[in-house]
Amino acid sequence: MTPAVIDDTTLYAVLAPFAAAVVAPFLTRWLKHNAAWPLALVPALIFLHFVGFIGPVSQGETFVAAKAWAPSYGVNFSVYVDGLSTLFGLLISGIGTFIILYAGGYLKGHPQQGRFFSFLFLFMGAMLGLVLGNNLISLFIFWELTSITSFLLIGFDHLRAASRRAAIQALVVTGGGGLALLAGFILIISATGEIEMSELLASQDIIKNSGLYLPIFLLVLGGAFTKSAQFPFHFWLPNAMEAPTPVSAYLHSATMVKAGVYLLMRMHPLLGDTVLWTTVLPLFGGITLLVGTILAVRQTDLKLMLAYTTVASLGLLVMLTGTSYEKALEGAVLYLLAHSLFKGALFMVAGTIDHEAGTRDVTKLGGLRTLMPITFAAACLASLSMAGLPPFIGFIAKEILYYGTSDISALGQLGIIVTLVAVVGNALMLVIAAAVAIKPFLGAAVETPKHAHEGPVLLIAGPVVLSVTGVILALFAHMTGVLFIGPTLSSLLGEFTQIDLHLIPTKFNAPVILSFITVGLGILLFTQLDRMRSMIASALEAIGWGPDKGFDQAVSGIVSMATAVTGLLQTGKMQTYMLLTFVFTALAVLLPGYLTGSFPALPKLPEYRFYEWGILLIAVLGLIAVLIAKTRLTAIVSLGVQGFAVALIFMMFGAPDLSFTQFMVETLSVVILALVMTRLNLSPRDHRSLASSVVTGVVAVAVGLGLMLTLLAITQQPFDSRLSEFFTEFSRSIAHGRNIVNVILVDFRGFDTLGEIAVVVLAGLCVLALIRIKTRTPDDTADKTSAAQAENQTAEVR
């Protein structure tokens, strides 16, 4: 179905958070933490805007809107609204509303709260632009903007070394993946000729049938895997917990880490359902799921426990997306929705506990149910959804994903492996869900660093609403499937699809059995939580090395290499800098021709007249004089001969103005340089070794040869006279000048001429500075030292 063109309201919805980012610091200065209430209206209104798309999108309609951004490059600021982007838009704006409120209460009294609000809105706008992006280049810009804004948020507490390290780590990993994604997008544009996502989705097999499918696949995966923390890039996400809890809650529920999953889902119609896709994604997704849950069990910090389960959940989503099976994809979409709700709620619960009790360590918490009853209720609801128990949306997601993975007739052996990995991963996530809900709240009361009490409404509104929403969506499962899951699944499959969801399974089948096994295994493992934590910690300590440590080693290696290269190249000697400049100039002009074998043919030697031979002879004699000159002054004067020879050549070819200019420039250059050389205390000539002279001679010949071949290649091309005709036609009528060369220099290329004058002035100032430097002799220094000592002695006597 061809997308319908809509007005620019959705474009303004993407830009609204950026406007709020400008206003937020000023509003916070006036209203303090209560500024969260009016600021939360921005994402709330964006949410209502996307609510308006639910009906049409559920009927299979899609929409586009665009504004020209860089039209000469085909880059538009355009949006594409379908089921997938609508779901993400609702999550980003809806959860973002409560994150803004939560940030108001969590950072109450913080001197930089306004700056924090501003960063959050920038982050929100970047994510909205990403998930709605239709143009590949504008999508990439927002993609990288999420990395930059997350860097600012993770490193918000920049006085702490751990925050700075985590921010840099996240930026390096996700930014590097972003560069790979850019390369992938460029290859897509090259292979298809399309730059708009809506046009690509209209011809789904165009990339699969392209010879560039493999590099495109690998580059897109590089961007998605780094952003969504897939193994072995999973280490940056738990370290990002150095950010304030509102950032963690938003990052893990609806924004940055979901960007990679969004990209894989968006690209599924274009890249999915191939042998490569159904092999690589389930493999890395399954490994990430197991690694994330195992590392989560080891932790005692509430935020780290939740962070590692986010890594695991992202692995589960990638694994399911990699199967390219409709039911598994349906489970992925359901789990995406469920995870956003319960993980956002649980992170805010963890932050509230830390804020009100003074610690997040589960071994130092207990009995908070009576002191924080509302927070406890929200934690229970969200944890039950995370554990996959009824009547929560997490339960339906688990049932559907098991239905998809256990269909052996469709997936074969892959289904068996994926199902086993999913069962183990979900059981371990049930362990963490139980630990988060039970350990801090049940049992005997434990004395905490702060006297625990229920948080204010700004802190509890988000957890309560998100956890209750998980129940409501499950109770109205059919409507959830029609309005949200079906349209999103249609985007993944590339065709309109309708589904029918039910909270209670209609029959006792394999998914129900697997669900019972998961719950039973999870309860059994929870009873052994402390033992498992000790065993995993011992195993990791025995292994020692990990990707996190490897990142530090890689950064250290890069810094060491950069230091060595800098020491090699930045010697402080002009001779070295000039040599390197000309070496790379020679490579730039010679290497492309050598690699392509496209050197121009040498022209036939024309029949010169006797005076033309004379001019060439003058140029050659001048060159020889430069080479054999015994002093620098002689070399400079001899070099002027070359300029005079060139001026004569200009005159012979009918350019007297240019010839006169060349004569003047060469005369002034020789005179000025000669005067300068007489004022500088330099050695008579350059005393270099024979080896150094040979090297510089070879480089000089290479540069000269390269420039000669370049000019020959240019002159052998058909002459395009349009620019000459333009200057001839308009020099008199527009610039009011008869001398075309002068008009070009002064009018048409006036800024170039101004730049050249600035360079000459700067060079003159440098020459003046050199002349003013007086070289001190040892005698002069001794005399000045004696005079200073005598003056000091006289002052002491006085």
Q: pLDDT grade, residue 685 (50/70/90)?
A: low
DSSP state string for 431-448: HHHHHHHHTTTSSS----
Nearest to 194 by CA among 152, 125, 278, 134: 134
Q: pLDDT grade, residue 788 (50/70/90)?
A: very low
pLDDT of residue 153: 96
Residue type, 783: D
H-type alpha helices, 32-154: 36-39, 41-58, 83-106, 113-132, 136-154
Secondary structure of 544-608 in HEC code, one letter for each residue: CCCHHHHHHHHHHHHHHHHHHHHHHHCCCCHHHHHHHHHHHHHHHHHHHHHHHCCCCCCCCCCCC
The partner residues of 70 in beta bridges, in order of sequence, read 75
Q: Cα separation of 551 and 547, whole Å?
A: 6
Phi, psi of 134 (to 5 degrees): -105, -40
- C-beta neighbour count of 510 within 10 angstroms: 14
The answer to whether residue 681 scores a pLDDT higher than 70 is no
- Chain centre distance of CA 113: 25
At 448-483, the pLDDT tens digits run 888 889 989 999 999 999 999 999 999 999 999 999
At 66-82, the pLDDT tens digits run 999 988 888 999 999 99
Structure tokens at 619: 């140029």
The answer to whether residue 533 scores a pLDDT higher than 50 is yes
At 20-49, the pLDDT tens digits run 999 999 999 999 999 999 999 999 999 999
Cis upstream peptide for 232 (omega within 30°):
yes
pLDDT of residue 781: 46
Q: Cα separation of 482 and 501, whole Å?
A: 8
Phi, psi of 79 (to 5 degrees): -125, 150
Mean pLDDT on 105-128: 95
- C-beta neighbour count of 575 within 10 angstroms: 12
Q: pLDDT grade, residue 683 (50/70/90)?
A: low
Are 641 and 619 in contact, with CB atoms under 8 Å apart? yes
> Looking at residue 449, what DSSP letter applies?
S
Which has more confidence, 708 or 640?
Answer: 708
Q: Whole-model pTM? A: 0.82
DSSP state string for 142-185: HHHHHHHHHHHHHTSSTTSHHHHHHHHHHHHHHHHHHHHHHHHH
Share of residues in the chain with pLDDT > 70 (%): 95
DSSP state string for 486-506: HHHHHHHHTS-------SS-S
C-alpha dihedral (566, 571, 574, 578), degrees to nearest 10: -40
- Please report, in angstroms and rounded to a whole number, the separation of the first and last CA atoms in the chain: 100
Q: pLDDT grade, residue 54 (50/70/90)?
A: very high
The answer to whether residue 137 scores a pLDDT higher than 60 is yes
Q: Cα separation of 716 and 707, whole Å?
A: 14
Q: pLDDT grade, residue 782 (50/70/90)?
A: very low
Q: Cα separation of 14 and 92, whole Å?
A: 11
DSSP state string for 256-294: HHHHHHHHHHHHHHHH-SSTTHHHHHHHHHHHHHHHHHH
Q: Which residues, at least 6 apart from 336, have a Cβ–Cβ distance to it below 8 Å?
A: 87, 258, 261, 317
> Looking at residue 746, what DSSP letter applies?
I
Which has more confidence, 352 or 798?
Answer: 352
- Chain centre distance of CA 140: 8
Residue type, 578: M
Are 474 and 393 in contact, with CB atoms under 8 Å apart? yes
The answer to whether residue 779 scores a pLDDT higher than 60 is no
- C-beta neighbour count of 753 within 10 angstroms: 14
Cis upstream peptide for 215 (omega within 30°):
no
pLDDT of residue 798: 41
pLDDT of residue 14: 96
Rg (CA), the chain: 35
pLDDT of residue 21: 97
In terms of phi and psi (left: phi > 0; alpha: psi -120 to 50; beta: otherwise), the region of 715 is: alpha
Share of residues in the chain with pLDDT > 90 (%): 63
Mean pLDDT on 364-385: 94
The answer to whether residue 783 scores a pLDDT higher than 70 is no
Mean pLDDT on 592-604: 80
Residue with tokens 């370049």, as numbered in its chain: 710
Q: Is the dihedral of CA 200, 201, 204, 207 positive or negative?
A: positive
Are 398 and 384 in contact, with CB atoms under 8 Å apart? no
Q: Cα separation of 786 and 792, whole Å?
A: 10
| Minimum mean pLDDT range among 169-183, 268-282, 502-516, 733-747 | 733-747
pLDDT of residue 684: 59
pLDDT of residue 682: 59
Q: Is the dihedral of CA 116, 118, 122, 128 positive or negative?
A: positive
Q: pLDDT grade, residue 115 (50/70/90)?
A: very high
Nearest to 641 by CA among 611, 673, 619: 619
Instruction: Provide the CB-side half-sphere exposure for 84 (13 A, CA).
Output: 34
pLDDT of residue 286: 96
Q: Cα separation of 313 and 307, whole Å?
A: 10
Q: How far is CA 114 from CA 22, 33, 107, 167, in A?
A: 10, 9, 10, 20
Nearest to 278 by CA among 414, 424, 401: 414
The answer to whether residue 531 scores a pLDDT higher than 50 is yes
- C-beta neighbour count of 494 within 10 angstroms: 16
At 496-515, the pLDDT tens digits run 998 989 998 877 888 899 99
Q: pLDDT grade, residue 204 (50/70/90)?
A: confident
The answer to whether residue 775 scores a pLDDT higher than 70 is no
Which has more confidence, 595 or 150?
Answer: 150
Instruction: Provide the CB-side half-sphere exposure for 726 (13 A, CA).
Output: 6
Query: What b/e sequence results for 660-686 when a residue is b if at least 16 CB atoms lie within 10 Å of its CB, and e otherwise?
Result: ebbbeebeeebeebeeeeeeeeeeeee
Q: Which of 533-537, 624-628, 655-659 shows the highest mean pLDDT?
A: 533-537
Are 680 and 571 in contact, with CB atoms under 8 Å apart? no
pLDDT of residue 679: 66
pLDDT of residue 521: 96
